[in-house]
Amino acid sequence: MQVRRVVTGQNAAGKAVFVSDERLDATTLSLLPGAEFHSVWGSDAIVPLPTDGSPPPMHGWFPPVGGFRFAFFTLGPDTVTLPADLDMGAALAELAAKLPGMADVMEPGHPGMHTTDTVDVDLVISGEVWLELDDGAQVLLKAGDCVVQNGTRHAWRNKSGAPCTLAVVLVGAQRTP
pLDDT attached to residue 46: 93
Q: Is residue 76 part of a domain?
A: yes
Q: Is residue 7 part of a domain?
A: no
Please report the DSSP string for 23-80 in residue order. Answer: EEPPB--TTSTT-EEEEEEEESSPPPSS---PPPP--SSS--TT-EEEEEEEE--TT-
Q: Is residue 11 part of a domain?
A: no
Which of 127, 99, 103, 98 shows the shortest CA–CA distance to 114? Answer: 103
Mind listing the pLDDT tens digit for each residue in 40-67?
A: 999 999 999 999 999 999 999 999 999 9
pLDDT attached to residue 1: 85
Q: Is residue 2 part of a domain?
A: no
Count of all residues that appear for the chain in the document:
177
In the chain, % of residues over pLDDT 90 = 89
Cα angle: 100, vertex 103, 108; to 5 degrees: 175
Mind listing the pLDDT tens digit for each residue in 87-130?
A: 989 999 999 999 999 999 999 899 899 999 999 999 999 999 99
Q: Is residue 19 part of a domain?
A: no
Name the helix (H) or strand (E) containing 105: helix 102-105
Give CA–CA dist 12/2, Å, rounded.
32
Write out the residue range of the structural domain in which residue 36 sits. 27-172
Q: Is residue 8 part of a domain?
A: no
Number of domains in the chain: 1
Please give the radius of gyration of the chain, using alpha carbons only, rounded to the nearest integer: 17
Q: What is the CATH number of the domain that holds 66?
A: 2.60.120.10
Q: Is residue 165 part of a domain?
A: yes
pLDDT attached to residue 84: 87
